Amino acid sequence: MSTATVGIVLVSHSAELAEGAANLAAQVSGGTVTIIAAGGTDDGDLGTSAAKVERGLSLADSGAGVVVLPDLGSAVLTVRAVLEDHSNSNNVLLADAPFVEGAVAATVTAAAGGDVKAVAAAAEEARHARKL
């Protein structure tokens, strides 16, 4: 497709968890969507980093907007603090979704050309998807 796709930022307390979820989502969706892993603190410890989230938002946005998925509730505080200062935060949606399933569903919908609302909705619908 010629139009830009929605970018995804995965905010986790663990750098490895964010990277792993990003890799999985990229594999499942065919690798056409920009997925940025923003995990761990600036020192590489468990926790979240406003600087990493801010950088992720910039890297993920190719013009179609960004959907952010936090792994645990306290990551939301970091994301919200960043969004208050972010220059283009009206094109960013924070999705309330299970981390792995939400990342995969959001990325697949982005790859299919969905807009930010559709991508965030796909992530949030993942809450209802049964595995068994």
Report the interface residues with another protein, using CB under 8 A: 24, 27-30, 101, 104-105, 108-109, 111-114, 122, 125-126, 129-132
From the CB of 27, what's the least distance to another protein, in Å?
A: 6
Residue number, 73 or 131, with CB nearest to another protein: 131
Say which residues have a Cβ less than 8 Å from residue 93's Cβ, sequence separation at least 6.
Answer: 65, 66, 67, 68, 116, 117, 119, 120
d(CA 17, CA 7): 18
Q: Between 2 and 87, name the residue whose CB sits nearer to another protein.
A: 2
Please give the helix or strand (H or E) that residue 105 lies within, else none.
helix 99-111
Q: How far is the CB of 70 from another protein (least distance, A)?
A: 19
Nearer to another protein, 32 or 88 (CB): 32
Please say which residue, 71 or 101, places its beta carbon nearer to another protein.
Answer: 101
Instruction: Calculate the CA dihedral of residues 34, 63, 114, 72 and round it to 10 degrees.
Output: 60
Residue owning tokens 């283009």:
88
Instruction: Give min distance, CB of 22 to another protein, in A.
Output: 14
Alpha-carbon span 114 to 108, nearest angstrom:
9
Q: How far is the CB of 16 from another protein (least distance, A)?
A: 19
- Residue 99 in tokens: 């981390």
